[in-house]
Structure 1
């Protein structure tokens, strides 16, 4: 099952990068996940009750793939939410990018229709904004990272009367989810890795603040490098980025020629998400091999950026060298 492309919508500022990327489909692992995303999400809300929800019979620890019993009796017509294991991390807010592992099955049959545990990586969904089924939007906002939450979602707050034929979900099915909340990111999120010395005076110096504000980028008054530069500013300890991955990032871009900013997720107050196959080669090559949780300086020479075909009517001119600070928040 594929997550709907809605969740891969590239923010406006990054479209200019994607326009010059390779014409490959995104092969990142995130594209394999879809179950909380309906074909036509019924924008409804309902009462939240504490149960009933089926028993978790195995995999009871946070982060373990759970086994969930078949639903007993008639499920509630309301949204049932049980805090199985309370967390103590950041509180999930409306509009955040929620990172979570989950398993979904049908109440009446215990048929599992999707789970992220077998894929070996949590999924990321923007929560509370109608991009996932209403039951998720209602139940998970306000929960804390580190929590395990079990949901029993009635049809009206799931896939509605149309169900989801591809997943084998009928319009009358109540859905059961176990969700392990890993983290939550928003427009104030920053990389929080270990500071790395920036000793090369021929390279731009990037600020190391982690307060969610855009870091400074000071470009030296020297000739631009002719080869790609990719250096840690803050080195995280997360998973290594692969060339097939999709990422959630904060970034800022300036021109080497005059240091002027031409694009920034901070300015838009919106995180960027993309597959590395969708962006200019300088980004794809510069971020591959780096660790999640890092801030990376990337200097993109024209040949790996826009070359002699810059975006029309924009600040990037022919044969511009581009300088980026990129915070790798998560793999999608």
Structure 2
């Protein structure tokens, strides 16, 4: 069954194999779980608690990787292989001056990954001509520690090279049947940081829609019209109009969202308060949620009224407090698309 707005990627994306780099979104190293420290007592990981900004120190291995090319262009990478590390190391090649990729933030990134044992390229994202940067969340709730350590605490405009240990390229849920990871070399360009709320121009509200009030941080409070039956068809209003890219069909998007049950007026799910916006694919959600996103522009805030036929139907979603036939209301801040 599809979900309303998944706070974590679907089970089909959650894999123990670190090599699943090009799934949804581009780098599907989508398994949380902390790795154990190696015998060399590595520098603190960037996967600490919210608000922390810690990253691996440079070392002999990361300093030994030769990287040429300008930030934003695909790097030429060479090193003597096999390159082995017991704890992750990171060297900053170009120091940017923009906003920093702090814990829980979402960064627009261009990234290339190489097998440290052979020197062969494993995958890359955002470097090909016409290709947009990919969005990576600085959190081990979404990516293995090695990927997080490549971008955490990095200022926009920077290029880093990271030699991630095998331990930091696997997860706590990996099994013996999963392919054994090996160390990798990661070159990452941090382009920019995704805003935490919609930044578009305010639009006049539409009659018949719930009212939305926003806190200073952007978190919405939705009030359902008293004594009013919900419409029977899908309805969408734009409260803020962004000037960014148009969301295609299908798309990988990063959003803030809040879901309210029209019947009860209660919030049943939201990304607000969880420390980070949520990345997902439009084909992972109920139809009405996807339709509210597709064709809108990045930076927009939309409100969608989803009838049962575009949501959970007569079955509802009891685990979320959604009864059979309930109408749903979502406020969605569209922050990035890839």
Q: Which runs of 5+ in 2 are unaligned?
A: 12-21, 44-56
| Matched residues, number | 298
Give the TM-score normalised by structure 2.
Answer: 0.71
Q: Is the 8 A contact 1:53 1:150 kept in 2?
A: no
State how far apart, in whole Å, the 2-side matches of 1:288 and 1:136 are: 29
Cα-to-partner distance string for 1:6-47 (whole Å, 9 max, x where unaligned):
xxx9438x99xx9xxxxxxxxxx8527348679998533624
The match for 2:318 is 312
Deviation of 1:297 after TM superposition, in Å, equals: 0.8
State how far apart, in whole Å, the 2-side matches of 1:130 and 1:43 are: 16
Deviation of 1:296 after TM superposition, in Å, equals: 0.9
1:112 pairs with 2:118: no
The match for 1:87 is 96
Deviation of 1:298 after TM superposition, in Å, equals: 0.7
Match of 1:226, SS state, is coil
Deviation of 1:72 after TM superposition, in Å, equals: 4.9
Match of 1:129, SS state, is coil
State how far apart, in whole Å, the 1-side matches of 2:252 and 2:213 are: 25
Q: Is the 8 A contact 1:253 1:322 kept in 2?
A: yes
Match of 1:216, SS state, is strand
Structure 1 residue corresponding to 2:242, chosen from 236, 240, 245: 236
Structure 2 residue corresponding to 1:215, chosen from 217, 220, 223: 220
Deviation of 1:257 after TM superposition, in Å, equals: 4.2
The match for 1:71 is 79
State how far apart, in whole Å, the 1-side matches of 2:79 and 2:140 are: 29
Match of 1:326, SS state, is strand
Change in 2 beyond 3 A, CA 1:275/1:36: closer
State how far apart, in whole Å, the 2-side matches of 1:215 and 1:94 are: 23
1:195 pairs with 2:202: yes
The match for 2:7 is 11
Deviation of 1:103 after TM superposition, in Å, equals: 0.8
Change in 2 beyond 3 A, CA 1:203/1:38: closer
Deviation of 1:325 after TM superposition, in Å, equals: 0.4
Give the TM-score normalised by structure 1.
Answer: 0.72
State how far apart, in whole Å, the 1-side matches of 2:321 and 2:181 are: 51
Deviation of 1:237 after TM superposition, in Å, equals: 2.5
Change in 2 beyond 3 A, CA 1:203/1:248: same
